[in-house]
């Protein structure tokens, strides 16, 4: 059993590599420094005994990572045990062959620690960049996922589709250490995405950024129903939860320290999406209240929220996004430390069952 593995639950962290200004200093770090800090965060997470580290893909100047596989390969050379995943790979506009081969290569470099979390992304910048139309948004994802799963299953692939050239007895190289790469689908809230993940028998990662966690339970239920109807074993249908996280000794300290950065994060994310919405302290207090899914507070409060979600979903993985809004790296380091040394032991005490 790994240091944090408890009754089948893995705990980890991820970064989307956003590059917002620090709201207190109004300074924005360089992409080089942002990448160095992400690599260091992966190393710290590994040393602390966390189970998984993820990096997301974006194609904008206000994000530092466009190629998760490259960044994760750098982290692989600095780590020993932690699993490495994309969070997410924008599969609609990626060539599935290139994606698969990149992560199979990462798997070799990391000695079998690579995973792919595929999603459709929060932005559409990659569509014109790679020559795709947003009119084919859903069809692209379905077709590319079909091919990705075939690549994962077979060394030699023949395949026909509408959006990329056909394959005829194509050799897919290299093959991963694991034999097959673990593949997940990121689901933001649509039943259709949950049904797709269940039907395909891949993991489902829920992006839960706020609100009452109860509203996501129907997605978990229909995911498992779709998986069962497609003939997949229940134990193969894994659910993950991802969420924004900030942990300090007390709830008030956590909220006081995090509010400027969290408000800043949503300010520039909303601006990126063409909205002018700003977050007030009252809005933040509501978002961080005990009954919601925002993981901000003391270690015990974070544990309570994870446990409540575990009762609802029976999920096998929790991943914390710990570096949003221009947070200085020393605060990110503290966040990782408290997750590993304060939250995980409390979770182990609550969830570990001797003999399992």
Q: DSSP assignment of 294-340, as one string? A: -EEE-HHHHHHHHHHHHHHH--SEEEEE---TT--HHHHHHHHHHII
Domain count, the chain: 1
CB-count burial class (<10 Å; 0-12, 13-18, 19+) for 265: buried
In this predicted structure, what is the pLDDT of residue 352?
64
DSSP assignments along 141-165, one per residue: HHHHHHHHHHHHH-SEEEE--SSS-
DSSP assignment, residue 134?
G
> Closest Cα to residue 11, out of 255, 354, 352?
352
Average pLDDT across each block of 10 residues of the chain; the chain has 356 residues. List them in order.
54 97 96 98 98 97 97 98 97 97 98 96 90 94 97 98 96 97 94 96 94 95 98 96 97 98 92 83 95 96 96 96 97 98 93 52
90 assigned to some structural domain: yes
What pTM did the predictor assign? 0.94
Is 98 a domain residue? yes
The domain that holds 70 is classified in CATH as 3.20.20.30
Domain of 76 in residue numbering reads as: 10-351
Bond prior to 205 in cis (omega within 30° of 0)? no
Asked if residue 3 belongs to a domain, the reply is no
Q: Please, is 291 exposed, middle or buried when counting C-beta atoms within 10 Å of its C-beta (0-12, 13-18, 19+)? A: exposed
Q: Return the exposure string of 214-224: e unless at least 16 CB atoms fall within 10 Å of the residue's CB, then b.
A: eebeebbebbb
| pLDDT computed for residue 277 by the predictor | 78
**Is residue 141 within 8 Å of 120, Cβ to Cβ?**
yes
Beta bridge partners of 241: 206, 318
Residue 8: per-residue pLDDT: 64
> Do the domain assignments include residue 2?
no
Kind of pairing, strands 89-90 and 156-159?
Answer: unpaired
> For residues 206 and 171, is the Cβ–Cβ distance under 8 A?
no
Half-sphere exposure of 252 (CA within 13 A, CB side): 0
- Is residue 258 included in any domain, yes or no? yes
pLDDT at residue 209, rounded to an integer:
87
* 5 lies in some domain: no
Q: What gap in Å lies between CA 337 and CA 42, rounded to an integer?
A: 12
Residue 37 is encoded by which pair of tokens? 């800090």
Evaluate whether residue 4 is within a structural domain: no
142 and 199 Cβ atoms separated by less than 8 Å = no
Question: Which residues are CB-contacts of 179 (< 8 A; sequence separation ≥ 6)?
Answer: none
Q: Is residue 284 situated within a structural domain?
A: yes
């Amino acid at each position: 059993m790994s240091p944090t593995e408890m009754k089948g639950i893995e705990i980890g962290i991820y970064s989307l590599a956003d590059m917002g200004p620090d709201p207190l200093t109004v300074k924005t770090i360089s992409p080089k420094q942002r990448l160095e800090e992400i690599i260091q965060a992966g190393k710290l997470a590994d040393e602390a005994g966390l189970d998984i580290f993820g990096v997301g893909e974006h194609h904008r100047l206000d994000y530092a990572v466009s190629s998760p596989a490259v960044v994760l390969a750098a982290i692989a050379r600095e780590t020993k045990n932690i699993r490495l995943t994309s969070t997410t790979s924008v599969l609609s506009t990626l060539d599935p062959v290139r994606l698969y081969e990149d992560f199979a290569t990462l798997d070799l470099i990391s000695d079998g620690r690579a995973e792919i979390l595929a999603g459709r992304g929060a932005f559409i910048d990659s569509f014109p960049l790679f020559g795709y139309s947003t009119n084919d948004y859903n069809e692209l994802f379905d077709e590319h996922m079909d091919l990705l799963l075939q690549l994962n299953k077979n060394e030699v692939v023949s395949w026909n589709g509408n959006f990329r050239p056909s394959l005829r007895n194509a050799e897919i190289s290299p093959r991963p250490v694991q034999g097959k790469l673990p593949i997940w689908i990121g689901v933001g809230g649509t039943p259709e995405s949950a049904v797709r993940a269940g039907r395909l028998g891949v993991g489902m990662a829920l992006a839960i950024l706020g609100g009452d966690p109860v509203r996501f339970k129907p997605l978990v239920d229909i995911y498992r129903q779709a998986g069962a109807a497609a003939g997949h074993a229940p134990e193969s249908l894994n659910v993950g939860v991802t969420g924004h996280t900030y942990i300090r000794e007390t709830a008030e300290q956590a909220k006081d320290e995090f509010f400027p950065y969290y408000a800043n994060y949503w300010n520039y994310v909303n601006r990126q999406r063409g909205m002018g919405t700003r977050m007030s302290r009252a809005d933040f207090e509501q978002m961080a209240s005990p009954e919601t899914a925002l993981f901000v507070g003391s270690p015990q409060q974070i544990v309570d929220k994870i446990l409540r979600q575990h009762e609802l979903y029976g999920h096998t993985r929790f991943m914390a996004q710990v570096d949003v809004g221009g947070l200085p790296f020393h605060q990110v380091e503290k966040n990782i430390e408290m997750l590993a040394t304060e939250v995980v032991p409390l979770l182990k005490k609550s969830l570990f069952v001797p003999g399992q």
